[in-house]
Amino acid sequence: MDAYVAMEDGRVVSARGRAPGRTRGELVFTTAYTGYEESLTDPSYEEQVLTFSYPLIGNYGVRTERFESERVHPTAAVAREFTDDVAEWLAEEGVPALDHLDTRDLVTAVRDEGAMKCGIAVGEDVTPDDARAELAACEGMSDHVDIGDQVSVGEQVVYNAGGDGATVALLDCGVKGSIVSSLVDRGATVHRFPHDTPAGAVADVDPDVLFVSNGPGDPENFGATKAVVREFAGEVSIAGICLGQQIVASALGGTTEKMTFGHRGVNQPVMDLESGRVVMTTQNHGYTVADPGPLEVTQINVNDDTPEGLESDELDVLTRQYHPEANPGPEDTLGFFDDVLGMASTRTPMLAD
Ligand SMILES: NC(=O)CC[C@H](N)C(=O)O
């Protein structure tokens, strides 16, 4: 099978086709050397073409129990070499895959010029022009204004109903399964809501914690989710991961911005500013909080000083830019979930209207 990647910088790179199809997306790379099953099923990669900088992808198979959601989310996958297991899985899912190209070149281009649009064509009779046509039709990440609808749950789902732990209202902007299980494993009852659920319906479950999930795209395209955060601020503890941190900060008066090429990998160093302790974290984001508004920056990325943790005692807010649930990645930061559920136990009851 022939395969081509047409990049926004004008280059067309040829490769070996492993799973056929034509598509487009934002070209990004992850430096993670494990966790391809989790990354490929992470909803945060929706509308992105995922390049693995680690050269051999698939050497421990494909196991559904590692999946973070029901389907593969990147529009296409690129590696130096995919095993047959992974190539067959992606073909079954209808997700184009290509290998036998110099991924160092792609990664260097994205690192130097930033995440860029690309077009992909893989098949028996595709041409470079097919990939160029896909590139011409590719929208910027922030132009995907309805991206939340593509990944959020269709209707409310309850996990651990009737449990005697904290009640968490999870606004699903594209949540990873291991975030839900990290909360349920600690005894919480989790009400998973579509990202655009009105505040009144969320209030009906009388949550101890409002939790805003990870997810794809530009946080500024999650207006309904931000409205719920504003409604609950000061009345219920609020937590968020990744997109969730960005949405919470933006809802409370802060701002967000796009990064050049973002952070995607499993060894991003994060320093806690109070203790000075540095932990290794899993990350996958292309936007960041620029101005935290009323929140305090309590943790930063050691590589580029961007905010990794935001908190407010007054508003009872605790968020992380990285992925404390790991999956893939180091488990240094799992304690975040204990801290979030700890906020619930010191909660003040919701004020009646
Ligand atoms: N993993 C995430 O939640 C990603 C957040 C957001 N879509 C970003 O790229 O910054």
Q: Write down the pLDDT at residue 346.
A: 64
Q: Write down the pLDDT at residue 7.
A: 98
The structure's pTM equals 0.96
What's the farthest any 2 CA atoms get from each other in the chain? Answer: 65
pLDDT surpassing 90 at residue 344:
no
Q: Which of 41, 152, 246, 282 to mutate to test the pocket of ligand 1 (most atoms within 8 A of CB)?
A: 246
Q: What angle do CA 75, 212, 255 make, to 5 degrees?
A: 85
Lowest mean pLDDT among 153-167, 218-232, 236-250, 338-352: 338-352
pLDDT band at 326 (very low <50, low <70, confident <90, very high): very high
Q: In this structure, what is the dihedral angle of CA atoms 105, 302, 291, 347, given to the nearest 10 degrees?
A: 120
Q: What is each CA distance from 155 to 68, 174, 199, in whole angstroms?
A: 18, 13, 15
Active site residues: 242, 323, 325
Hey, what are 89's tokens?
């899985």
Chain mean pLDDT for the chain: 96
What is the ipTM for the molecules in this complex? 0.98
pLDDT surpassing 50 at residue 189:
yes
- Using CB distances shorter than 6 Å, the residues near ligand 1 are 44, 214-217, 242-243, 284-287
Superfamily of domain 147-345: Class I glutamine amidotransferase (GATase) domain (3.40.50.880)
pLDDT surpassing 50 at residue 353:
no
Query: From the CA of 283, how far away is ligand 1's center (Å)?
Result: 9
Q: Write down the pLDDT at residue 345.
A: 72
pLDDT band at 351 (very low <50, low <70, confident <90, very high): very low
Report the CATH fold assignment for 2-139. Glucose Oxidase; domain 1 (3.50.30)
Domain boundaries, the chain: 2-139, 147-345
Q: What is the pLDDT of residues 249-304, one digit of tens each?
A: 999 999 999 999 999 999 999 999 999 999 999 999 999 999 999 999 999 999 99
Specify the ligand 1 atom closest to the Cα of 213: 3
Query: Could you tell me where the beta strands, DSSP code E, fall in 31-166?
Result: 48-52, 56-57, 76-78, 81-82, 97-99, 116-123, 157-159
Q: What is the pLDDT of residues 140-168, one digit of tens each?
A: 999 999 999 999 999 999 999 999 999 99
